[in-house]
Structure 1
Amino acid sequence: MTENLNRLPLIGDKAPAFQALTTNGTVNFPDDYKGNWVLFFSHPSDFTPVCTTEFMTLASMKEEFKQMNVALLGLSVDSLYSHIAWIRKIEELEWNGMKNVKIDFPVIADLNTKVSTLYGMLQPNVSSTQAVRAVFVIDPEGIIRSIIYYPLTTGRNFQEIKRMIQALQKSDATHNSTPANWQPGDDLIVSTPVTVSAAEACMACSNEDEYALDWFLRFRKDKA
């Protein structure tokens, strides 16, 4: 059977590789980011209002992401010169308590739409010339761990995206899951038993570190 060359990347896939020009020079992805988590995001166009607020927000959070070993990488279907002019203008603006922000993360120039097509960032029913607000979270091994799409009119909640990366990192470190609305420090969910004896043992297990609501729903305190 012929392989579908237009298949979009999925969670668990190796991040598709590419080389591209950015506002910080040439990037070879994902090789240049090995050992780092990457928040790879697209925006529809330069000099657009929603995107401007997003860039200001990301710039204000860059140290928070850096402490989490998360690198930022942006993209739009615009030229390098347009990116530079827009970034310079953003750094002059003040909004929502943010001013004098510094946009020092790389932004890919994708005029030929090669990268945005590779990652499914162009969606024809929305626009054939603007990328949707796609978010790809890629782990230090170059594996896609999360994919989120936002419509053109809706600005992203980067605090929620940060929380989601924290949850992924916590699950990797502890081999536990995170419940609804989890925040760092909250209780974690222990893997569900797969045998009758394990389910019975789960119900019997209750101490200062672990507790069960039922055989399939057991929690563990996060001691980290």
Structure 2
Amino acid sequence: MDGHGDGGGQHDSQRYSRRRGCHETNLQCLRLDTFALQQLISFFFVSAPSAKAAQSFVAMPGLTIGDTVPNLELDSTHGKIRIHDFVGDTYVILFSHPGDFTPVCTTELAAMAGYAKEFDKRGVKLLGISCDDVQSHKDWIKDIEAYKPGNRVTYPIMADPSREAIKQLNMVDPDEKDSNGGHLPSRALHIVGPDKKVKLSFLYPSCVGRNMDEVVRAVDALQTAAKHAVATPVNWKPGERVVIPPGVSDDEAKEKFPQGFDTADLPSGKGYLRFTKVG
């Protein structure tokens, strides 16, 4: 009896253990199901907005190519300027400099003044901006013109002491700050088209001055591409061959460019690299 009772007790204990194991397993499954439900809720009610945020995160930060330049109104050395009115139906080079009465900026703005006639030939206007006030700009212009006699600063320089405009124009240098800890502008330059959209941007750190010949070349390339619906190859200069975009078929190219075109003979056998001349 005792032996039978002991055996029954063992069986009862095993059955209890199995039942307990099942309860624990079911509890774990319930916990997993609850966790899964929480994850689903999190996905639909939290992750969906986060996905939108992620999309905006991977997008280019701030004003960039293809964006419409903000229609800001600022004081300048030529009085109040509203950017869209200033652009009108022309191209504008909108450029920032880190600060008045600084060495590299002085050489740059003197060069801008020296190239003003070249830009004017191309129907391009110049518009500067920094965080210094208008009076500072006016006083500094005397130094600029003295540094390069004959290079008169005839273009306006806008003042943005609040630093709000340079943020909207994506011209903030993340590393350079003034004595009060305020961010300074970078050496940014946007070429803005008649449609008020950014066509091309250059961005330099404060320690590197811009190359004005390259700015002129970029303007020429943009205007040539817009006028003839072509692209310009590496190191292109006016008068040199341009590239026919790949979206234009050979038949279309023959109609569009009656002067003819040359197709590069490449190992791939693909005729995507085509050159032509435009007036």
Fold agreement, TM-score > 0.5: yes
Which residue of 78, 100, 103 corresponds with 2:153?
103
2:172 corresponds in structure 1 to 122
Q: Distance in 2 between matches of 1:201 and 1:13?
A: 30
Q: Does 1:221 align with 2:245?
A: no
Q: Does 1:143 align with 2:197?
A: yes
Which residue of 260, 263, 267 corresponds with 1:209?
260
2:36 corresponds in structure 1 to none
Q: Distance in 1 between matches of 2:259 and 2:83?
A: 45
* Contact 1:93/1:100, CA 8 A, preserved across alignment: no
1:165 corresponds in structure 2 to 219
Q: Distance in 1 between matches of 2:150 and 2:93?
A: 23
Higher strand share: 1
1:184 corresponds in structure 2 to 238
* Contact 1:135/1:148, CA 8 A, preserved across alignment: yes
Q: Which has the larger radius of gyration?
A: 2
**CA distance 1:111–1:188, shift in 2 (3 Å):** same
Which residue of 97, 102, 109 corresponds with 1:43?
97
2:70 corresponds in structure 1 to 16
| Counterpart residue type for residue 43 of structure 1 | H
Q: Percent identity?
A: 31
Q: Distance in 1 between matches of 2:193 and 2:165?
A: 19
Query: Per-residue deviation at 1:200?
Result: 9.9
Q: Which runs of 4+ in 1 moved over 6 A?
A: 199-202
* Structure having greater relative contact order (Cα 8 Å, sep ≥ 6): 1
CA distances 1:23-81 after superposition (whole Å, capped 9, x unpaired) = 01110112232111000000000011101111111111101100101000001110111
SS of residue matched to 1:25: coil
**CA distance 1:92–1:125, shift in 2 (3 Å):** closer
2:30 corresponds in structure 1 to none
CA distances 1:151-186 after superposition (whole Å, capped 9, x unpaired) = 101110011011001100000011010000000000
| Counterpart residue type for residue 211 of structure 1 | D
SS of residue matched to 2:219: helix
Q: Higher mean Cα deviation, 207-216 or 139-148?
A: 207-216
Aligned length, in residue pairs = 213
Q: Distance in 1 between matches of 2:146 and 2:187?
A: 24
Q: Give structure 2 stretches of 5+ with no counterpart.
A: 1-48, 266-270
| Counterpart residue type for residue 136 of structure 2 | S
RMSD of aligned Cα (Å)? 2.5
Q: Distance in 1 between matches of 2:124 and 2:93?
A: 7
Q: Does 1:53 align with 2:110?
A: no
1:62 corresponds in structure 2 to 116
Which residue of 175, 185, 188 corresponds with 1:134?
188
Q: Distance in 2 between matches of 1:179 and 1:131?
A: 31
SS of residue matched to 1:164: helix
**CA distance 1:21–1:211, shift in 2 (3 Å):** same
Query: Per-residue deviation at 1:201?
Result: 9.8
* Contact 1:15/1:143, CA 8 A, preserved across alignment: yes
* Contact 2:173/2:183, CA 8 A, preserved across alignment: no
Query: Per-residue deviation at 1:9?
Result: 1.1
* Contact 1:39/1:135, CA 8 A, preserved across alignment: yes
1:155 corresponds in structure 2 to 209
